[in-house]
Structure 1
Amino acid sequence: MLVTSRSYAEYEAMFDLTQLPESVLDCCAGGSSFTAEATDRGVDAVAVDPAYELATPELVDTVRRSLPAGSGIVDAHQGSFVWHWYGTPERRDEMRIESADRFLQDIMTAPERYVAGGLPELPFDDRRFELVLCSHLLFTWADTFDRAWHLAGLRELVRVSSSEVRVFPLVQQGAGDPVPFLPEILDDLDGITWEIRKVPYEFQAGADEMLVISRT
Structure 2
Amino acid sequence: MSELRGATDIGDFLVSARSFDEYRAMFALTDADLHGRVLDCPGGGASFTAAARARGTAAFAVDPVYASPPRELVARLDAELARGSAWATANAERYVWDHYGDPAGHARLRAESAAVFARDLAACPGRHVAAALPHLPFTDGAFDLVLSSHLLFTYADRLDAGFHVAALREMARVGAEVRVYPVVDQAGRALPDLLASVLAELGGAGVEAEVQDVPYEFQRGARSMLRLRSAPTRTGVRGAGAPGSGGRMRP
TM-score (norm 2): 0.82
Q: Does 1:196 align with 2:208?
A: no
How big is the shift at 1:184?
Answer: 1.0
1:46 aligns with 60
RMSD: 1.2
More strand as a share of residues = 1
* Cα deviation, residue 215, structure 1: 1.2
Show the counterpart of 1:55. 69
Q: 1:116 aligns with which of 118, 130, 134?
A: 130
- For the 8 Å contact 2:70–2:121, the answer to whether it is kept is no
TM-score by length of 1: 0.95
Partners of 1:89 and 1:55 lie apart in 2 by: 30
Distance in 2 of aligned mates of 1:36 and 1:15: 17
Residues 83-121 of structure 1: per-residue CA shift (max 9 Å, x gap):
122222222111101100000000100000000011011
1:16 alignment partner in structure 2? 28
Equivalent position of 1:185 in the other structure: 198
Q: Is the 8 A contact 2:88 2:103 kept in 1?
A: no
Task: Give the aligned residue type for 1:196.
Answer: V
2:160 is equivalent to residue 146 of structure 1? yes
Kept in 2, the 8 Å contact 1:21–1:131? The answer is: no
Q: Which has the higher contact order (CA 8 A, sep 6+)?
A: 1
Mind listing any 5+ residue stretches in structure 1 that lack a counterpart? none
- Matched residues in 2 for 1:211 and 1:160: separation? 17
Greater CA deviation, 48-57 or 69-78?
69-78
* SS class of match (2:78): helix
* Amino acid in the other structure paired with 1:168: Y
Q: Structure 2, unaligned stretches of length 5 or more?
A: 1-12, 232-251
Structure 1 runs (4+) deviating above 4 angstroms are none
What residue number does 1:207 align with?
Answer: 222
How many aligned residue pairs are there?
214
Partner of 1:134: 148
Please state whether the residue corresponding to 1:181 is helix, strand or coil: helix
Residue 166 (structure 1) aligned with residue 142 (structure 2) = no
Deviation at 1:73, TM superposition (A): 2.3
Instruction: Work out whether 1:2 is the aligned partner of 2:14.
Output: yes
Per the TM alignment, residue 27 of structure 1 is displaced from its structure 2 partner at its CA by 0.2
CA–CA distance in 2 between the matches of 1:209 and 1:21? Answer: 23
Percent identity over the alignment? 48
